[in-house]
Amino acid sequence: MGLLPFYNEKLYASLSTQTKIMSDPRLDLPQGTLDILILKTLALAPSHGWAIAQRIQQVSRDALQIQQGSLYPALHRLERRGWIRSKWGASENNRRARYYELTSAGKKRLAAEEVSWGRLVAAVSEVLGTA
């Protein structure tokens, strides 16, 4: 596959409220970005959907706010591809929740995507840095 797999869904992430340059507070992320964010989050530890979204929001300092309408279809897609697997368990507040974890194929996919993402960011930075 190319740099990032592209999908039909749109993912919107809110920019920090400190940024008032743009009138629309949402940033269009490249399609497929949500997948790598989920894989990276699950590389730390198995987690349920709400905790995955919270972790991404926390690490991005509230710049990325993942909506359930984007998160759960992405989790199901990653599971169908064999990159994650799930099992039922109890959440921290003792509610039934589906926990997701990386598979070995998911770990390989994450490693490949991190390299591709790094190359993409470096190339875009290079172009933006030229006068």
Q: What is the CATH number of the domain that holds 123?
A: 1.10.10.10
Q: How many Cβ atoms from other residues are within 10 Å of residue 43's Cβ?
A: 14
Q: Is residue 74 part of a domain?
A: yes
pTM, two decimal places: 0.76
Q: Indicate the number of domains in the chain.
A: 1
Q: Is residue 5 part of a domain?
A: no
> Residue 4: inside a domain, yes or no?
no
Q: pLDDT tens digits for 38-49? A: 999 999 999 999
Give the model confidence (pLDDT) of 56-104 as tens digits.
999 998 889 899 999 999 999 999 999 999 999 988 888 899 999 999 9
Distance of CA 92 to the CA centre of its chain: 22
Q: Is residue 92 situated within a structural domain? A: yes
> Within a domain: residue 7?
no
Q: Does residue 3 form part of some domain?
A: no
Collect all residues with Cβ–Cβ distance below 8 Å to 46 and sequence separation of at least 6: 99, 100, 101
Residue ranges making up the domain that contains 47: 12-128
